[in-house]
């Protein structure tokens, strides 16, 4: 099989693998549901015989894991191209922490809005994430050029600072609120419902087509700033637009899933090994790889020990941290 056919075939193969992983995840847990009952519940969800466990507990969680994995992977892939840094990731650059801090402020100051509707929560997360992105952009720009090493170091510092602020805020909360915040910080999609899925989908439907429409710009940015300018690309303008899209994608996913890191780092690197660096193939492959990665991590976390459930953010860190060290080793 030649390279071009492999690039075209890989997203379809991954889509099939994601569907198989969804079927596998549906039947993982304390209660086993026969697949005949699964099919009957999906075909006629309003029948009295439909599975409440499947439709109201497991399926929303599975859908949310896939959607958040897709959004975080696309965000990481975009950030790596914009910053010219293969180690860029929404979590490492502090965007997740900034979005999380903004969500904590929202939960503390406007609890009634959170109860009535979740549409405001992603908006607050985007404000926090964009604030961090603006700070990083200004900090890492030297003599008119963005320095990738400065952006990485600044992101690590900002991430630590915002996590410290979140812990300080959490210490002043009552016990029930603090438990909620602690689970959110760990990256936990336990207890997800269709409410969170409906809150996330509108943002993805807007942001993902915008990003796919700029695939050629991402390819040109990989050539370097001077070559891109020579080809007529307004580099700074396109960078800002792509940075806003990447931050909005990460923040909207983080607002409903909690502090999940490393997906935006690992998924694009794994995708590049299969389809190369051209974003026409890299973006859809990274998107599906991220959805599959997060779904499998969540399934393992809730099935590994039946008595306890490991938050998906912790499982992702356990699985992806060694790979991050490997990438860091290659860069030095």
Quote the pLDDT of residue 16: 94
Higher pLDDT, 11 or 47: 11
pLDDT at 167 exceeding the cut of 90: no
Percent of the chain having pLDDT more than 70?
83
Average confidence (pLDDT) over 225-231: 70
| Stated pTM of the model | 0.88
Residues 6+ apart with CB under 8 A from 247: 75, 90, 95, 126, 129, 130, 132, 133
- Sequence-ordered list of residues with C-beta below 8 angstroms from that of 246, at least 6 positions apart, any chain: 74, 75, 76, 78, 79, 82, 90, 211
Overall average pLDDT of the 268-274 stretch: 89
pLDDT of 176 above 70 = no
pLDDT at 273 over 70: yes
pLDDT at 118: 65
pLDDT for residue 156: 85
Structural domain harbouring 233: 3-331
| Per-residue pLDDT, 180 | 66
Q: Is pLDDT above 80 for 93?
A: yes
Asked if the model's pLDDT at residue 290 lies above 90, the reply is yes
Residue 188 belongs to domain with CATH number? 1.10.3470.10
pLDDT over threshold 60, residue 117: no
Let me know: does 23 contact 35? Beta carbons within 8 Å.
Answer: yes
Q: Name the percent of the chain lying above pLDDT 90.
A: 17
pLDDT in tens, 13-63: 999 999 999 988 887 766 677 777 777 767 776 665 556 767 777 888 899
Residue 112 has pLDDT above 70, yes or no: no
- Taking the C-alpha atoms of residue 248 and residue 123, their distance in angstroms, rounded to an integer, is 9
* CB within 8 Å of 286: residues ≥ 6 apart: 73, 74, 76, 77, 267, 268, 271
Query: Region 86-92: what's the mean pLDDT?
Result: 83
What total of structural domains would you count in the chain? Answer: 1
Question: Which runs of consecutive H residues, i.e. helices, occur in 110-174?
Answer: 111-116, 120-140, 148-171
Residue-level pLDDT at 277: 84
Q: What is the pLDDT of residue 17?
A: 94
**Does an H or E element contain 141, and which?**
strand 141-142
* pLDDT attached to residue 88: 82
pLDDT at 206: 93
């Amino acid at each position: 099989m030649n390279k071009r056919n492999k690039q075209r075939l890989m997203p379809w193969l991954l889509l099939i693998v994601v569907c198989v992983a969804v079927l596998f995840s549906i039947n993982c847990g304390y209660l086993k549901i026969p697949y005949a009952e699964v099919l009957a519940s999906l075909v006629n969800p309003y029948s009295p015989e439909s599975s409440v466990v499947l439709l109201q507990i497991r399926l929303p969680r599975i859908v949310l894991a896939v959607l958040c994995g897709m959004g975080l992977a696309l965000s990481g892939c975009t950030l790596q191209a914009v910053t010219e840094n293969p180690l860029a990731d929404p979590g490492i650059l502090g965007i997740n922490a900034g979005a999380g801090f903004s969500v904590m402020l929202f939960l503390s100051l406007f609890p009634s809005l959170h109860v009535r509707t979740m549409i405001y929560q992603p908006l607050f997360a985007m404000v926090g994430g964009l604030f961090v992105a603006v700070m990083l952009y200004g900090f890492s720009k030297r003599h008119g050029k963005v320095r990738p090493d400065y952006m990485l170091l600044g992101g690590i510092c900002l991430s630590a600072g915002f996590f410290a602020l979140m812990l300080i805020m959490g210490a002043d909360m009552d016990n029930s609120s603090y438990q909620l915040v602690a689970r959110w910080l760990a990256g936990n999609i336990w207890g997800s419902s269709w409410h969170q899925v409906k809150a996330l989908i509108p943002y993805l439907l807007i942001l993902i087509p915008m990003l796919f429409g700029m695939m050629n710009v991402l390819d040109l940015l990989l050539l370097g700033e001077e070559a891109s300018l020579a080809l007529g690309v307004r580099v700074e303008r396109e960078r800002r637009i792509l940075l806003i899209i990447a931050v909005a994608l990460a923040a909207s996913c983080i607002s409903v899933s909690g502090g999940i890191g490393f997906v935006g780092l690992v998924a694009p690197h794994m995708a590049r090994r299969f389809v190369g660096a051209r974003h026409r193939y890299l973006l859809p492959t990274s998107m599906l790889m991220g959805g599959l990665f997060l779904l499998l991590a969540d399934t393992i976390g809730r099935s590994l020990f039946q008595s306890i459930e490991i938050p998906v953010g912790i499982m992702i860190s356990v699985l992806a941290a060694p790979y991050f060290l490997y990438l860091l080793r290659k860069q030095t």
